[in-house]
């Protein structure tokens, strides 16, 4: 977690994960967070960068969880790119129709992070007939903010901690979020 509370993504890879071409310095590209199977057979989060041309032509990296637009750094440029709260909230909204358990769990962890950072507030919990708990969230600081629901995937504490740690590792910093 950066000092301003934003998340810092992993390092820019410099090449397109779809077409294998170099992403030139100063070029716009799409940074993605994907689920991959590691050498040990376990599912893990990984970063995959995609050239804008490849992204606009339609194919997406396998296991896509989240994405954000960025500009490739120049070799002499020292900069730190952060994923701000609005981008994290956009990721939560993009995953609203996710059906895969890992995507739903990722959405849940992002929503909890935004709740802890006080970007969101929890209005209530709705229990569905199938036993699922749906947390009703609303954006803080807006006079008129639409509410939205996020399903509690029922992660065990160890699974929640593992997913949070994995997400933090890929986004570059430990997710030890303060109260403000």
Position 78 confidence tier, pLDDT thresholds 50, 70, 90: low
pLDDT digits (tens, 9 = 90+) for 27-54: 999 988 887 877 787 777 788 899 999 9
Position 80 confidence tier, pLDDT thresholds 50, 70, 90: low
Mean pLDDT value of segment 99-114: 87
Lowest mean pLDDT among 25-34, 107-116, 142-151, 170-179: 170-179
Specify which residues 64 forms β-bridges with.
34
Q: What is the pLDDT of residue 115?
A: 87
pTM over 0.75: no
Of 126, 73, 122, 114, residue with least CA distance to 90: 114
> In terms of C-beta distances under 8 Å and separation of at least 24 residues, what long-range contacts does 163-170 make, across chains too?
163/105, 163/106, 163/109, 164/109, 166/44, 166/45, 167/45, 167/106, 167/109, 168/1, 169/10, 169/45, 170/9, 170/10, 170/33, 170/45, 170/46, 170/47
pLDDT digits (tens, 9 = 90+) for 121-170: 999 999 999 988 999 999 988 777 789 999 999 888 888 877 777 776 66
Q: Where are the domains of the chain?
A: 85-171
Beta carbons within 10 angstroms of residue 143's beta carbon: 4
């Amino acid at each position: 977690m950066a000092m301003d509370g934003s998340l810092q993504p992993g390092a820019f890879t410099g090449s397109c994960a779809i077409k294998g071409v170099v992403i030139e310095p100063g070029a716009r590209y799409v940074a993605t967070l994907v689920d991959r199977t590691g050498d040990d057979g376990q599912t893990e989060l990984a970063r995959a960068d995609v050239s804008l041309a490849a992204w606009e032509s339609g194919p997406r990296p396998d296991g896509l969880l989240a994405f954000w637009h960025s500009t490739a750094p120049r070799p002499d440029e020292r900069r730190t790119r952060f994923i701000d709260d609005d981008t994290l909230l956009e990721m939560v909204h993009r995953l609203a129709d996710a059906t895969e358990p890992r995507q739903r769990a990722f959405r849940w962890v992002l929503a909890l992070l935004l709740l802890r950072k006080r970007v969101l507030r929890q209005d209530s919990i709705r229990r569905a007939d199938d036993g699922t708990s749906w947390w009703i969230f609303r954006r803080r600081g807006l006079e008129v903010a639409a509410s939205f629901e996020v399903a509690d995937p029922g992660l065990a504490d160890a699974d929640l901690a593992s997913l949070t740690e994995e997400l933090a590792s890929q986004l570059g910093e430990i997710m030890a979020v303060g109260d403000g």
